[in-house]
Amino acid sequence: MNAPLRRLSIAMLLLFALLLGNLTWVQFVQGDDLRGNPLNQRVLLEEYSRQRGAIVVDGSAVASVQETKDLLKYQRQYPSGPLYAHVTGFKSPEYGDSGVEQSEDSLLSGHDDRLFVRQLSDLVTGRKPKGGNVVLTVNPAVQQATFTAMHGRKGAAVALDPRTGEVLAMVSGPTYDPNPLASHNSSTRSDTWNKLTADPDNPMLNRAINQSYPPGSTFKVVVSAAAMRGGDDSQTRIPSQRSYTPEQTTAQIQNYNGSSCGGDEITMQQALTVSCNTAYAQLAVKVGEKRLREQARDFGFESSSLECPTKVSTSQLGNMDDPPKLAQSGIGQRDVRMTPLQGAMIASAVANSGSLMRPYLVSEVQAPDFAVLDKTRPREFSRPMTTSSARDLQTMMRSVVEKGTGRAARLDGVEVGGKTGTAEDGD
């Protein structure tokens, strides 16, 4: 072979090697990313060629599909608009998904292994494939009442059934309408996305599970439970002067407006009723970091295992390694942060005689023919207090509402317990 032919052969071999290398890179290294890219038209057309399953609340679809004459055969719809936005999330041809749409995507899209028999039947019969349905625990009346109460407010509210852990309502404000994000009109989608992501109030953020806040005086319930774990009860007397200066600092802790809590020493129940800062700062120091941290962890703090059904942000205690930090943490300040869901879990454990049930939002999942594939069974998350301590705390929290800082929550003919809390936070 002469020199020119040899050079040509080598060049051709190099080109084939480069082509083979590129094919290998695309197929095996980038394959999953390319297949999962929402802008991949082939994947998009296949995904929207099948009827996505419904998300259901009390027998009514809060996320459904409508057949179109577009290139994308089915369009996602949210009949209640903003009401369930932070529960269902959104499913967008361009911007992916969130909420239940994300966590239950494999079932809703029809790719879940639990639908194997259905998939096989579709293949044999030529029937058009469909996704399964997801049934939620939400109570529509409770959700609507919570949504109405939260209207125009920035924050979040969660209602749990203490006996089971079922999420009866989950609302985050401000909210948004997921319908434009699901639109098949690219301009509508992009305009809505740009507006929502540019909003400083971040309306797409689910503050109920993905944002943590200083709990303020609501954390005094945790401190009370920790004290009871050490042998105290609702009638244990604790110091309650107008101001308290922990060791190792000159910074004073005072009550709201520098007020008195009713004497230099009051019972734990009286201290919770009037939300006495000086009493609970000293009680936290008495309890100590070890027991307080153990107690908070039993309620769910510092747990990374919570999902509802997407991952829940971890509630944190921060550093409590000296008396000043411990005292400030005892009144829900310093570095203590918790999600609104965490707050609901604490109250639920008290209401359920000391048993904390694991929160869940998905009641059951169904095949396209509505046959139940899987049903969530209530599970205990932990037992953060004894039945006796829970009974004591129930009495204390009722006192807060009946004659303390929570009087605005009183309802005629209904026993209500609670704990108020105020903390400065910009989010």
Residues 318 and 333: their CA atoms lie apart, in Å, by 10
Q: Which residue from 202, 220, 265 is spatially nearest to 396, judged by alpha carbons? A: 220
- Whether 382 sits among the annotated catalytic residues: the reply is no
Residues 315 and 339: their CA atoms lie apart, in Å, by 6
Strands 55-57 and 133-136, by their bridges, are parallel
DSSP-derived letter for residue 25 is I
Distances from the Cα of 201 to the Cαs of 172, 173, 190, 204, in angstroms? 11, 9, 19, 9
For every residue of 64-78, DSSP letters joined together read: EEEE-SSSS-EEEE-
Residues 330 and 281: their CA atoms lie apart, in Å, by 5
List 98, 217, 389, 399, catalytic entry: 217
Q: Which amino acid is at 294?
A: E
368: left (phi over 0), alpha (psi -120 to 50) or beta: alpha
Q: Quick one: tokens of 302? A: 């510092």
Could you count the other beta carbons within 10 Å of the beta carbon of residue 163? Answer: 13
334: left (phi over 0), alpha (psi -120 to 50) or beta: left
Asked if 117 contacts 104 with a C-beta cutoff of 8 angstroms, the reply is: no
Q: CA 143 from chain center: how many Å? A: 15
CA torsion sign for 10, 12, 14, 20 is negative
Asked if 226 contacts 301 with a C-beta cutoff of 8 angstroms, the reply is: no
- The residue written with tokens 């802008």 in the block is 39
Helix, strand and coil in the chain, % to nearest 5? 45, 15, 40
Mind telling me the catalytic residues? 217
